[in-house]
A and B are shown apart, each in its own frame.
Chain A
């Protein structure tokens, strides 16, 4: 069965650089979530999209932006990177929006900021 795809899997950047993370949801899934997970921490909700529109925002810094495209893939754009941005970034998709549907997670992108 098709799973959520994230690219790249690993990314190393310098401080103040920019990064773009990509997420390809499971086919027919119309909702995408982005999470940030620091070492030893729980995943923190950043932002979600439903049917290509931003649905909810969590603890996403102003330096980050995201969008969902017509083919439902989503991109998380991160600018002016800081050391504290080093983390695992997960994307998840679900078949429908709302609280009653399980989320399927991608393998994550490990971002290291030097």
Chain B
């Protein structure tokens, strides 16, 4: 039931772009994206809903393919502060929430 993310880890130089993918074997009603820095709480980035609605930060973009049960997070012009572990998350039923396997992103100068 846990969504699978790819890549597992990525290293970028400042200013480079990255794409993080999230794939589920179950039907998705929505996809959440969170970023977590080491030892800290996950921080909300974006929600993508069926029908194309999105809620989140203006500088973050993402896509949601309902038929393929996939979502992608697009990080452009990366900054050092983007470093962390990115998790997608899905609610299978009601309030039962599953985080993805995580993608570690490191931005270097």
Contact = CB atoms under 8 A, between A and B. Distances in A.
A97 B47 contact: no
A108 B39 CA distance: 9
Given A98-B91, A102-B32, A48 B96 contact: yes
A105 B94 contact: no
B interface, size bucket: 20 to 34
A55 interface: yes
Contact of A100 (B2, B44, B49, B87): B49
Given A42-B87, A90-B42, A102-B32, A56 B98 contact: no
Nearest to B87: A42
Contacts of A108: 40-41
Contact of B43 (A45, A56, A105): A105
Contacts, number: 70
Interface in A85-114: 88, 90, 92, 97-108
Interface residues of A, number: 28
B102 interface: yes
Interface in B74-94: 87, 90-91, 93-94
B96 A42 contact: no
Among A50, A97, A101, residue most surrounded by chain B Cβ atoms (within 10 Å): A101
A8 interface: no
B96 A107 contact: no
B97 A48 contact: yes
A24 interface: no
12 contacts: A42-B2, A42-B87, A42-B101, A44-B99, A45-B96, A48-B95, A90-B41, A92-B42, A101-B47, A103-B44, A104-B44, A105-B42
Interface of B: 2, 29-30, 32, 39-44, 47, 49, 55, 87, 90-91, 93-102
